[in-house]
Chain A
Amino acid sequence: MTVIPVALRAVAAAGLVVDAYIHLKLAHRYDPISSSVISQGTLFRIEAGAAILAAVLVVLWRRRAGDAFAWLTAAAGLAAILFYRYANPGAIGPLPNMYEPLWYADKVWALIGQGAAIVALTPLIIGPRRSHAKAPAAD
């Protein structure tokens, strides 16, 4: 009865875990890229931490707010990868210049994980909630 939502949550969580793993794996390499405020490695760790928290919320909490947080985490990571792959904006505010016009396996895997999470979370967010679906049926 709830196979699809469970499957979607499983896919989203898996994608977020891949996202977190890749960012944690690469973080130390990107520590030298730094502004006076924060390094790219630290931003990677923040992304990884957010992705782990999001995966936990998606699997255990199962609320719209948690799903939305997970969606934003994945979307922000995906947007950053694509933006800095094709644009060289220099340092933006406290952010270092993270321009990197390269594709390599880890980056592609992170992108796939983020994309899968976004695709799986979107119907969970915009679709009717279980509680909302039950309420009309009860009436």
Chain B
Amino acid sequence: MTRTRTLRRVAVPAAVVILAAAGCSSTTSKSSTPPATAPSSPTAPSATTAPSTPAPSTAPTTTAAAQIVIDNFAFSPANLTVRPGQTITVVNHDSVTHTLTASAGAAFDTGALNPGKSATITAPTTPGVYPYVCTIHASMHGTLTVG
């Protein structure tokens, strides 16, 4: 009797501790895994959060500031690659007016950009290569690659 009581006194708390420990370890592993396992979990919320997991990796390149500087009658960089729809800042460091205008169509155009001024243009949403020029100084040219 006393033996069985002693066994119960030891075994029950031990089982509780073991189960509790197992439970804690399992909950910690779950809490750490949700980001990884969320996409595979069958519940709807995790499915909706699944796409948000890769988003952070693409966000920096999408929102990265793109800039073209006009200096000494040249565009710098002359060839720039951006994301579709990305905003590009064009800064005129020259002492005369310039433009940055898509060669074909009306994909983008800063209009007359006076000395020291800046303007923003939006990259086309269709991937491709878009040559551009200064409409005043036709020898100034560059290429915007959208991809």
Residues of A within 8 A of B (CB): 29-30, 32-34, 88, 90, 97-102, 104
Contact = CB atoms under 8 A, between A and B. Distances in A.
Nearest to A33: B97
A104 B112 CA distance: 21
B112 A102 contact: no
Contacts of A99: 95-96
Given A90-B95, A100-B96, A102-B73, A30 B136 contact: yes
A88 B115 CA distance: 13
Interface string B64-77: 00000000110000
5 tightest Cβ-Cβ pairs between the two chains A and B:
A32-B112, A33-B97, A32-B97, A102-B139, A97-B96
B95 A29 contact: no
B30 interface: no
| B contacts with A: majority SS | loop
Contact of B137 (A88, A90, A97, A102): A102
Given A32-B97, A88-B95, A90-B95, A101 B135 contact: no
Interface residues of A, dominant DSSP? loop
Contacts of A104: 138-139
B135 A29 contact: yes
13 contacts: A29-B135, A32-B99, A32-B136, A33-B96, A33-B97, A34-B97, A90-B95, A97-B95, A99-B96, A100-B73, A102-B73, A104-B138, A104-B139
Interface residues of B, number: 13
B73 A101 contact: yes
A98 B137 CA distance: 11
Nearest to B99: A32
Nearest to B134: A29
Contacts of A102: 73, 137, 139
Given A100-B73, A104-B138, 4 more contacts: A29-B135, A30-B136, A32-B99, A99-B96
